[in-house]
Amino acid sequence: MTPKARARARLGVLLAVLALCLAALWRIGPRVLPAAPRAELPHGAVDAGPTPPPLPSLGCGHTPDGGTRDRSDFVMVDGQRRKYLVVLPRGYVPTRPYPLLFAFHGSGGNGEGYRSWLDLESYYGDAVIAVYPDAVVRRIWAEEVATHWGRVEDLPFFDAMLDAIGREHCVDRARVLATGWSSGGYFANQLACARPDAVRAIASLSGGGPEQIDCPRPHAAFIFHDRDDHAVMISEGRASRDHWRTTNACGRSRTEGTCEVYTGCAAPLVWCETSGNGHGVPPSVRAAMWSFLSAF
């Protein structure tokens, strides 16, 4: 047999083997991977206690300038001009006090980008006035500089925003809520410690804390983390959960959907854990978070 004929024979054998393998795979069918665990929290699963009577802000009755639903505003804090995006509900009524929801982005981001990425409006709809603030550029690690929330440095910024928004819009000061992702999740936990009378409930997504601050008072908290998060390790989220479990004097937990709702607490605590999402926030977590926050 000539070399060319031997090569053709070998190729024929390889093609035959490949055909057999493809036929076997066709009979077996595609491999079905198990779905990643979802975070589920049914509405009504959290007892937030009686809803406090509305506490209207000074802006109630004032018609905002511009007539647009979303606008960027600024406040001066420690000599810096700080930016935040305010999103009003469709059909905003200037005499109706609305809950106020702060949403804090992660490191390297900004409020407008966070609004688009997280798409919280698909969940809260027209139920709240939403605020998406911008962090300032800070040194995070020895070699890295990016927008980042300070543990205590940004508390005056929060205070200034709360006052300014309350003067411009009709806010229910008894129902101020805060959520944050990554660096913003750390800051949400800080607010629960440092501003417990100003913020009624917080949700921390893929974050950690509270850190470097005295935090003796119970506070309503929703904590989420993914087991496959390699940007902020899940040990950080579990430390947040354990902090609030101790501070809130919680007892045992029960499963609601796939989240853990702690019982016997001085303030509500929910822990949601998933896998396969890395540092992201899947839609099921966003829905569970809003199920928690909307109870307040």
Residue 179 has pLDDT above 60, yes or no: yes
Residue 11 has pLDDT above 60, yes or no: no
Phi, psi torsion values for 80, nearest 5 degrees: -110, 140
Averaged pLDDT score across all residues of the chain: 87
Q: What is the mean pLDDT of residues 60-73?
A: 86
Which CATH number fits the domain that encloses residue 182?
3.40.50.1820
> pLDDT tens-digit profile of 129-138?
999 999 998 8
| Window from 70-79, 100-109, 179-188, 209-218 with minimum mean pLDDT | 209-218
Nearest to 97, CA basis, from 1, 166, 195: 166
Q: What pLDDT does residue 31 have?
A: 33
Instruction: Specify burial of residue 223 (Cβ count, 10 A radius: 0-12, 13-18, 19+).
Output: buried
Proportion of the chain above pLDDT 90, given as a percent: 71
Asked whether the CA dihedral 238, 256, 115, 171 is positive or negative, the reply is negative
Please tell me whether residues 127 and 7 are part of one structural domain: no
Residue 187 has pLDDT above 80, yes or no: yes
Please tell me whether residues 225 and 170 are part of one structural domain: yes
> pLDDT tens-digit profile of 230-244?
999 999 999 999 999
| Window from 15-19, 55-59, 240-244 with minimum mean pLDDT | 15-19
Please tell me whether residues 102 and 208 are part of one structural domain: yes
Please tell me whether residues 128 and 254 are part of one structural domain: yes
Please tell me whether residues 23 and 107 are part of one structural domain: no
Please tell me whether residues 158 and 22 are part of one structural domain: no
Please tell me whether residues 217 and 241 are part of one structural domain: yes
Give the number of other CB atoms < 10 A from CB of residue 26.
9
Please tell me whether residues 13 and 86 are part of one structural domain: no
Q: What pLDDT does residue 30 have?
A: 32
pLDDT-derived band of residue 256, with 50, 70 and 90 as boundaries?
confident
Q: What is the mean pLDDT of residues 196-202?
A: 98
| Window from 27-36, 225-234, 263-272 with minimum mean pLDDT | 27-36
Which domain range does residue 21 map to?
1-32
Q: Are 42 and 261 in contact (CB under 8 A)?
A: no
Please tell me whether residues 24 and 94 are part of one structural domain: no
Q: What pLDDT does residue 142 have?
A: 55
Q: What pLDDT does residue 43 have?
A: 74
Please tell me whether residues 217 and 78 are part of one structural domain: yes
| 20/66: higher pLDDT | 66
Count of domains forming the chain: 2
Please tell me whether residues 26 and 170 are part of one structural domain: no
Q: What is the mean pLDDT of residues 24-44?
A: 50
Please tell me whether residues 42 and 9 are part of one structural domain: no
Strand ranges, E, within 97-162: 98-104, 129-133, 136-139, 145-148
Q: What pLDDT does residue 137 have?
A: 87
> pLDDT tens-digit profile of 67-104?
778 999 999 999 999 999 999 999 999 999 999 999 99
